[in-house]
Amino acid sequence: MSTRRTIARTVTMDGVGLHLGVPCRLSMSPAAAGSGVRFRRTDLEGTPSIAAHTDVAVLTERRTQLGEEPSALHTVEHVLAAVAGAGIDDLEIAMDGPEPPIADGSAAPFLAMITEAGIVEQLGRAEHLELRESVRVVDGESVYEAHPASELRLDVTIDFPHPLIGRQSGSWTITPDVFERELAPARTFGFVREVEYLRSRGLIQGASTSNAVVLDDARVLDTTLRWPDEFVRHKAMDVVGDLALAGARVRAHVVAHRPSHRGTVLLVRAMRAASTGAAPAGLRTNGAVAGAAAANGAAASAAGTAHVRAMDAVMKSGTLGIEEVMRVLPHRYPFLLVDRILDLEPGKRVVGLKNVTINEPFFQGHFPGHPIMPGVLIIEAMAQVGGMLLLGAVENPESKVVYFTSLNDVRWRRPVKPGDQLRFELELLQVRGPMCKMSGVAKVDGEVVAEAQMGAMVRDR
């Protein structure tokens, strides 16, 4: 049995945030037993408080976000990694800005704050998230497995096409000493080739070679690596921070391949669902997976049950990775043109992604030396995302198929080329019996590249 832990006194840090580039003063203060870890925005009226919990996490790329604007907190993963790595259960973190200071790009400065403040035990029993069965979550390229264990163990693998990174793997049993020595000092990293694109999206506004490991095509700029595998260590540190959103000390063996912030948040949601022995109330079940589990009845295996709960957690967030998309859509290579569903409100709206790469088979002939995605395939990809919207609202979607019956007001605004990421946004306009109408747009970097209105019907496959 573990007692709860907090810090002995208030400590403060000043600095600039990594992505938003806004100055922020961050203070850590003792908190009452049982209060958990909470953030407080002192710069906003009423000083709103946000729990460090997956229930309020927003699925984002490149960072971990809690809450929605205007009181959102961005890039909190390094702070939470230090808190979880030190075994802190109760803590108040006050910030007078939307993003913690980036410091040197690692969790070590935040861990030093906790050490300076001193750790004290207090009345009450620490809560633990323990699994009864294994869980598997796939989100795009991120693949996770979590297995029952008596402690937190991490196996992390990353793979980047860079001569200094390549494929790196590491394994750690997370204790305060191991975290401090092996993971906390590992810094965030990025690539020169991404700077212009990320800054155009409002990210890395406060980044520099003094608070991140920056790489060009061959080397690290203006710094020396703390370990040759600092990259995978940093990713493991991020996983520790995002696992803190469980709201409890995690006891599990987590195997993460190419982890991401949004992927780890989805994993935590799936682990929480599996640990309760039943899916949380209000979760929408994916018809294909739930139908298969029902057919198996009481004989469904523990692994299959855990997978259903993992799917429930994904559907709660409205997101679907490629494996879930393929359970719903009948399309296959080379005609499956949806990579991910970002947001799905069945019967209302859907947002989906298609990553356009030079490996698309149509670029061989359209056109040699001047690759442009055919406009009809942009509309086809939009229609497939629309199919997810319609099938998401029916029972047993794996037994249905969507036929499109009309296209109106189709316009193409600019060419789509290799390297573009198509974002499709569709909403349902009208439903009459088996017939419906949808309106959709396709965007690249926020700019509309195509639009259309579509008529469709759902039929038995």
DSSP three-state, residue 366:
coil
Query: Which residues touch 69 (CB under 8 Å, ≥6 apart)?
Result: none
Going from the C-alpha of 420 to that of each of 168, 238, 443, the distances in angstroms are 28, 27, 10
Task: Using alpha carbons, select from 394, 284, 390, 381 the residue that is nearest to residue 340.
Answer: 381
CA 235, CA 261: separation in Å to the nearest integer? 9
Of all helices (H) and strands (E), which one includes residue 334? none
The catalytic position among 128, 147, 162, 366 is 366
DSSP three-state, residue 190:
strand
Token pair of 95 as six digits:
């910030």
Task: Using alpha carbons, select from 194, 15, 29 the residue that is nearest to residue 106.
Answer: 15
DSSP three-state, residue 329:
coil
CA 269, CA 55: separation in Å to the nearest integer? 8
The reply to whether 74 belongs to the active site is: no
CA 373, CA 360: separation in Å to the nearest integer? 9
What are the φ and ψ backbone dihedral angles of 248, each rounded to 5 degrees? -160, 165
The reply to whether 331 belongs to the active site is: no
The conformation of residue 32, written as its DSSP 8-state character, comes to -
DSSP three-state, residue 413:
coil
Partners of residue 27 on adjacent β-strands = 12, 94
The catalytic position among 261, 307, 331, 370 is 261
Residues classed as catalytic: 261, 366
